[in-house]
Amino acid sequence: MISIQCKDVRKCFINGKNKTEALRSVNLEILDKKLTLLVGPSGSGKTTLLSIIETILTPDEGDLFLLGQHVNKMNELEKAYFRNKNIGVVFQALHLIPTLTVLENVILPLIIKGEEENNAKKKGASLLEQLYIKEKMNLPHTQLSIGEQQRAAIARALINDPKIILCDEPTSALDQENGHAIMAILRDLASSDNRTVFVITHDHRIFPFADHIININDGIVEKKNE
Ligand SMILES: Nc1ncnc2c1ncn2[C@@H]1O[C@H](COP(=O)(O)OP(=O)(O)OP(=O)(O)O)[C@@H](O)[C@H]1O
Ligand SMILES: [Mg+2]
Q: How many structural domains comprise the chain?
A: 1
pLDDT tens track of the chain, all 226 residues?
Answer: 999 999 999 999 999 999 999 999 999 999 999 999 999 999 999 999 999 999 999 999 999 999 999 999 999 999 999 998 899 998 877 788 999 999 999 999 899 889 999 999 999 999 899 888 999 999 999 999 888 898 899 899 989 889 999 999 888 878 888 888 889 989 988 988 889 999 999 888 899 999 999 999 999 998 654 5
Which of 14, 47, 198, 204 for a ligand 1 pocket mutation test, highest count of atoms within 8 Å of Cβ?
47
- Identify the bridge partners of residue 19 per DSSP, sorted by sequence position: 14
Asked if residue 45 has its Cβ within 6 Å of ligand 1, the reply is yes
Asked if residue 22 has its Cβ within 6 Å of ligand 1, the reply is yes
User: Is the pTM value of this prediction over 0.75?
Assistant: yes
- φ and ψ of 45, to 5 deg: 115, 10
Our separate counts of H helices and E strands in the chain read 6, 10
Q: What is the pLDDT of residue 150?
A: 87
Could you tell me the distance, in angstroms and rounded to a whole number, from the CA of residue 23 to the centre of ligand 1?
A: 10
> DSSP letter string over 88-143?
EEE-SS----TTSBHHHHHHHHHHHHT--HHHHHHHHHHHHHHTT-GGGTTSBGGG
Asked if residue 44 has its Cβ within 6 Å of ligand 1, the reply is yes
Asked if residue 36 has its Cβ within 6 Å of ligand 1, the reply is no
Asked if residue 109 has its Cβ within 6 Å of ligand 1, the reply is no
Nearest to residue 148, comparing CAs of 167, 110, 175, 109? 175
Could you tell me the distance, in angstroms and rounded to a whole number, from the CA of residue 45 to the centre of ligand 1?
A: 6
Asked if residue 51 has its Cβ within 6 Å of ligand 1, the reply is no
Asked if residue 15 has its Cβ within 6 Å of ligand 1, the reply is yes
Q: What is the pLDDT of residue 144?
A: 92
Residues of the domain holding 139: 2-225
CATH value at residue 220: 3.40.50.300
**Atom 1 of ligand 1, residue of closest alpha carbon:** 13
DSSP state letter for 67: T
